[in-house]
Structure 1
C-alpha cells in the first residue's frame, strides 16, 4: 500500500514528506529526524534546547504556554501548570489515587473507572488533549527548524504500555495533526540508536534499563533476523528521578526542621524546593557537594548523603531487573548488552549498580535523554523505505475495533500493527439486568463508527442478570498472517462465549484505504472534539441513571432536603446534556458528585453498621 501525506493547512496530498521520531516523555519530550547525510539527529529549534519540558501552563487570558516557557510557572502558578501528564494517559482515577499528592493541579475524582480528567479553572482537559498540545508544540518547533511541513511521525511508548495507553498516545498524535505511522517500544528505539539489531544476521539478547523523570522500566529483548521481540518487561510507573528529588527535599525539610503542614499549604515554596533538589541531583553527577538556598533556607547535600538517600530506590529497580529476567527464564549471564536510557541514569550510583548486577559494562555513550528519539528517527527511516536491510513485518492497513456507547469507535488493533497479532479489552454492561450485548466490529480511522466500515455484528447472549457494571466481558481480536480476523467475546463470570470470523480487507481497494486515511487526517480535530463531547454525554447519562436509581432505592435514608437539592443538580445536568458544551457537562457531573458524596458515604457507613448487626440495606 502506498504511503500518503496530507498537508493539514491546504488539505492537499503531498508526494514526499519527512517522517520524524518523537520521544513523548514524562518529564521532557524531543524530536529527531534523519539528516541529509543519513544520520539521526535531534532537533534544537532556534536555540531553545533539544529537550522540551512536558509542561503545559494555562494563563489567565486563555493563552497556553508549553515547554521551556511553562516551566517557570511550576513555582508561580502550580495549580494551572500541568506536568507528568504521560503518567495519566489511559488511566482511571483509581489507577493514580495513591499518587495524587505528586500533582499540584486538580485531578477529578469521579469515583469511577473512567479515564481521569484535569480541571484548570472552570475547564476540563483529558490527558489526551494535554499530550496533544505538547505534540503540537513539538510539531511546530520541528517545522520551524526544518522549514518544511511535518505530518507523519513515529512515537515511542514504554514497552509495558497497555492497549488503552497506546491508543491514547495515538489519539494525542491525531489531535496534534500528526499521522502516527507506528507506536514503537522505547527499548526497541534505544537499541536501534546503538546500532543493535541493524544487522539482520545479528542475534542478541539485551536489556534496556530506562530510568526517566517519573517512570522506570526494564525490558529484555531478543533480536533475531532484524526482528525485535520483547521477552519480558518490568518496572514501576511511579519511580524515577522525581523520587530522587523528593528524597533530597525531605532531607532538607528534616535538616532545617521545617513544618510539613505549613509547607504543604504553600505550593509555590514546595515547587521551589523541588526544582532546587533537581538542580542538586544534576550537580552531584559531577561534584561531591552542593550548596544553595531557597528563600533563606540553606540547601546543602553531599554526594555520599545523596547516594544513601536513593539507595533503596535504586535497589527497587534492580528487583525489577531480577523479575524481568525471571519472567524471560534468563539469568544476567544470558544478557549480552545493557543499554542505559533516561536522564536519571547519569547518576553514578545507578550506572555502577546496574553494571554490577549484569556483570558487564553498560552502554551509556549516547546521551541518555536523546537515545530513544534518535532510535525513533531510525525507525521512521525504515518506514520510509530507506533501510532495506531491516525486516518489517506485514501490518494491518486500517484500525479494527468495536462500537461503544454513543456510537464511538473503540480501537482494539490499531492500523500499522504487525500481523499476526492479538489484542483485547474488557467491557461491561450499562443497564441493570442486561442479558445480551450487541458487538459490532468496524474498520477505519474515524472516531465515530458511522464514518467507518462495518465488518460484522453478533450478539453475546445469556449474560447473567446483574447490576450495571458487574458483568465482565472480554473481547479479543486475533488477526492472522492472512488478514483473517477472529473476534471472541466471553463473559468472565459465567463463561458464556461467542465468536465470529471476518476478512477485514475484503472489498477494499488500496485507493479506498488511502481515502479513509485522508478523511481521518482531514477530520482529525473535529473527530476528537466530537468524541470528547459524546464521552462527556455518555458519562453524564450514566450519572443521571446512577443517581436516580440511588435515590429510588434509598429514599428512606436520605432527607427530603437532600433529595430536593439532588434533583436540582440532576435537572441542571440533564439540561447540560443537550448543550453541546463538553466542559459544561463535565462541570455539572463534578458538582453532582461533590454534592452527593457526603450522604452516599454516610449511607455506606450505615450499611456497614447495620450489616454487622445481621441486617442488610438494599
Structure 2
C-alpha cells in the first residue's frame, strides 16, 4: 500500500518530498534522484552537465563560485581556488604535511594537532565549510531541475573514512541546509547501482573496487535474499587519481632538470602542470603519446612509461584486495562479480591488473563517475520507505574499545561488525575508595593502546567510595549507521552516568590507515606475548597491594615469623615484576597465594567464631 501525505491544516494532499543521493567526490560531485519511472537518474541542471567539479573559488569582491565556473580560475588564481577538499576532511596539518605541496592554496600549520584550515585572503575556512559550499551548489541544482525544495539527502563516503571524516561530512551537509539521513559507504551504493543481487532468488559474492580522485577502497559484499552484507573492507583514504597526477608532474620536473621546490612555489606553474598531467592521464585512453609544452617545459610522456610510474600505486590497491579477501575468509574463486567504481578505474593498467588478480572480466559498463550517486539515490529511496526488498548491512573497518590496566586494549566492538551495532562490558575499580574512573576510547587492532588511535577520553565522576572490585560500571558502545560512536558509562549501584559522542579532533593519516591492519598481522605474536606479560604484571601488582593491605589491617592475627616470611615473598614478587619474565611472575604469584591462603582461612574462622559467640544452634 502506498503512503499518502495529507496536510492536516488544509486537508490537501502534500507532494511527496524528494530525498536525493549525493556523491561528494574529491574531483567531481553529483546529485541523483529516483525519477517518476522509479529509476535512479543523475541530475543535469540546464545543460550544465552532471558532473560538478569539487572546486570553490573566492573572488576579490567576496563572490564565491562553485563547480565549472570555479575550475576556470585554477590556473589564473590558484591561491584563491580550492580543490580536492575531500582530502582534508577530518584531518590535521600533521596528517597532510607530506602532501601540502600538492595544494596551490594556503593550508594553515599553526597547530599540527587541530583540524586544518585554509587561508583565502584574510579569511580562514575549514574543509567542512568548503564542502558545505559544494553541497549547497548540488542542492541548488537539484531544486532548480526538480522544481521543488530539497532538504533531505543521503551522502556517500569511502568505506575507509574514519569517525572524524564521517562526522565532518555530516556536519558539512547540515551547514548546507540538508538533513543528512544516512552516511553510506560508496561501494555499497555502487553495488545497488549495478543492480547485482536485486533478484531475491540470486545469491552473489562481489568485490567492489573503488578508485577515485583522492581515495581508494575495496569491499567484499555478499548479496542474498535482497540483503546486502559487507563482509570486509580495506583501502587507503589518501590514494587516488590525484596521486597519478602528482607522479606525472614529478616525472616532468625531473626530465626537464628543474628544481622541484622552485616549481612548486610558483603556484600558477604548479597548477598548470597538475592540470596538464590530468589531461595526459585521460588522453591515454585513446592515444599512446602526449607531447606538449608549457613555457619552456616539455610535457612528454608515453603510455608505457606512465604505467611504469603508477605501477607501485596500483599494486598497493591489489594488496588491499588480497587483504579484503583474507578478512572475509574467502578465496578469489569465490568472488562472482567484480565492480569498478570511480573515475580513476578508466586507467587501462588499473582494469588489467584488477581483472588479472580476480581472474575474471570486470564490470565497468555503468559510468564510473555516476555509479555511486545513482546508488545513493536508491538508498535514499529505501529510506523513504519506497523499497522493502533491499537491506544494507555495512561494517566498521576497525575495532573499537577502551584502555584497561597496563595500557591494554579491551575490544568492545570488533572490526567488520555489522552496523548499526552496540556492545558493552562491565568493569570495576582497582583501588579502594576510587571515586572517579578515566575512560579512554581507542580505535585499532593492536593489543596495546599505544599502538592504536585515541578517539576520546572522559571521566565518570561520583562513584561511591567502596573497596576495590565492588563498584559495577557498565560501559556501552553504540555505533550508528553513519559510523558515529556514542559511549555511555554508568555505575550500577549509584546510577551515576556519563555519555559522550565521539567527534575526534583530527583524522587518521594515510600511513596509519594503510598500516593499522598490516601491523596487527605482522605483530600478532609479539602483541600476544606483550599482553600476557602485562596481564601477569597487573595480577602481580594487585597481589602485592592486597597482601600488604592485609598485613597492615590484620597483623595481630599473624606471628612474627609469618609476617617476616610474607614480607620476603612479597619482595620476591616485586622483584619478579621488574624482570619481564611472565612465567616467573605467575610462578611467584602462585607461591604468594599458596603461602597466604591459610591466613585468610584463619581470619574467616575467627570472624565466624566471634559472630557465633553466645549463640546456640537448635
Give the structure 1 partner of residue 146 of structure 2.
146
Give the structure 2 partner of residue 614 of structure 1.
none
Give the structure 2 partner of residue 190 of structure 1.
190
The residue correspondences of 1:386-465 to structure 2 (distance < 5 A) are: 386-391=386-391, 421-422=421-422, 436=436, 459-460=460-461
CA contact (8 A) 2:104 2:270 kept: no
- The 1:147/1:161 distance shift into structure 2, 3 A limit, reads same
Give the structure 2 partner of residue 371 of structure 1.
371
SS at structure 1 position matched to 2:304: helix
**In 2, Cα distance between equivalents of 1:476 and 1:98:** 38
Offset, 1:157: 0.8
SS at structure 2 position matched to 1:188: helix
**In 2, Cα distance between equivalents of 1:30 and 1:135:** 9
Q: Deviations over 1:401-458 (max 9, x none)?
A: xxxxxxxxxxxx9xxx99752389xxxxxxxxx984799xxxxxxxxxxxxxxxxx99
The residue correspondences of 1:102-141 to structure 2 (distance < 5 A) are: 102-141=102-141
The residue correspondences of 1:151-190 to structure 2 (distance < 5 A) are: 151-190=151-190
Offset, 1:156: 0.6
CA contact (8 A) 1:460 1:498 kept: no
1:41 aligns with 2:38: no
**In 2, Cα distance between equivalents of 1:354 and 1:499:** 57
**In 2, Cα distance between equivalents of 1:86 and 1:501:** 40
Unaligned runs of 5+ residues in structure 2 are 6-12, 395-412, 425-433, 440-457, 464-472, 506-618
Give the structure 1 partner of residue 65 of structure 2.
65
Root mean square deviation, CA, Å: 3.9
- The 1:229/1:389 distance shift into structure 2, 3 A limit, reads closer
Q: Deviations over 1:200-240 (max 9, x none)?
A: 34322211111111111111122233222222221122211
1:246 aligns with 2:275: no
**In 1, Cα distance between equivalents of 2:295 and 2:259:** 15
**In 1, Cα distance between equivalents of 2:89 and 2:3:** 28
Greater gyration radius: 2
Q: Deviations over 1:38-65 (max 9, x none)?
A: 2111111122221111111111111111
- The 1:86/1:20 distance shift into structure 2, 3 A limit, reads same
Q: Deviations over 1:10-29 (max 9, x none)?
A: xxx96521111100001110
**In 2, Cα distance between equivalents of 1:152 and 1:3:** 18
SS at structure 1 position matched to 2:204: strand
SS at structure 2 position matched to 1:223: strand
Offset, 1:374: 0.7
**In 2, Cα distance between equivalents of 1:319 and 1:60:** 46
Offset, 1:388: 2.8
Q: Deviations over 1:470-512 (max 9, x none)?
A: xxx997523899xxx995449xxxxx9999799x9xxxxxxxx
CA contact (8 A) 1:56 1:81 kept: yes
SS at structure 1 position matched to 2:229: strand
Give the structure 2 partner of residue 334 of structure 1.
334
Offset, 1:195: 0.5
- The 1:96/1:480 distance shift into structure 2, 3 A limit, reads closer
SS at structure 1 position matched to 2:46: helix
**In 1, Cα distance between equivalents of 2:148 and 2:240:** 36
SS at structure 2 position matched to 1:45: coil
SS at structure 2 position matched to 1:138: helix
**In 2, Cα distance between equivalents of 1:109 and 1:18:** 41
**In 1, Cα distance between equivalents of 2:145 and 2:370:** 17
Q: Deviations over 1:261-308 (max 9, x none)?
A: 321221100110110111111010121122222124332221112112
Give the structure 1 partner of residue 345 of structure 2.
345
Offset, 1:96: 2.3
**In 2, Cα distance between equivalents of 1:123 and 1:486:** 34
Which TM-score applies when normalising by structure 1? 0.64
SS at structure 1 position matched to 2:361: coil
Give the structure 2 partner of residue 74 of structure 1.
74
Q: Deviations over 1:529-580 (max 9, x none)?
A: xxx9xx9xxxxxxxxxxxxxxxxxxxxxxxxxxxxxxxxxxxxxxxxxxxxx
Give the structure 1 partner of residue 582 of structure 2.
none
Give the structure 2 partner of residue 233 of structure 1.
233
**In 1, Cα distance between equivalents of 2:228 and 2:20:** 20
**In 2, Cα distance between equivalents of 1:421 and 1:34:** 29
**In 2, Cα distance between equivalents of 1:391 and 1:235:** 24
CA contact (8 A) 2:203 2:224 kept: yes
- Further displaced range: 78-87 or 346-355: 78-87
CA contact (8 A) 1:107 1:119 kept: yes
**In 2, Cα distance between equivalents of 1:28 and 1:498:** 54
**In 2, Cα distance between equivalents of 1:237 and 1:141:** 28
- The 1:200/1:300 distance shift into structure 2, 3 A limit, reads same
Give the structure 1 partner of residue 616 of structure 2.
none
- The 1:122/1:318 distance shift into structure 2, 3 A limit, reads same
**In 2, Cα distance between equivalents of 1:38 and 1:500:** 51
Give the structure 1 partner of residue 301 of structure 2.
301
**In 2, Cα distance between equivalents of 1:160 and 1:479:** 15
Runs of 4+ in 1 over 6 A off after TM superposition: 2-5, 496-502
Give the structure 2 partner of residue 547 of structure 1.
none
Unaligned runs of 5+ residues in structure 1 are 6-12, 395-412, 425-433, 440-456, 463-472, 491-495, 505-531, 536-618
Equivalenced residues, count = 435
**In 1, Cα distance between equivalents of 2:496 and 2:200:** 35
- Further displaced range: 90-99 or 345-354: 90-99
Offset, 1:461: 6.0
Give the structure 2 partner of residue 272 of structure 1.
272
CA contact (8 A) 1:487 1:501 kept: no
**In 2, Cα distance between equivalents of 1:391 and 1:372:** 17
SS at structure 2 position matched to 1:47: coil
CA contact (8 A) 1:488 1:499 kept: no
- Further displaced range: 70-79 or 312-321: 70-79
The residue correspondences of 1:587-606 to structure 2 (distance < 5 A) are: none
Offset, 1:110: 3.5
Which TM-score applies when normalising by structure 2? 0.64
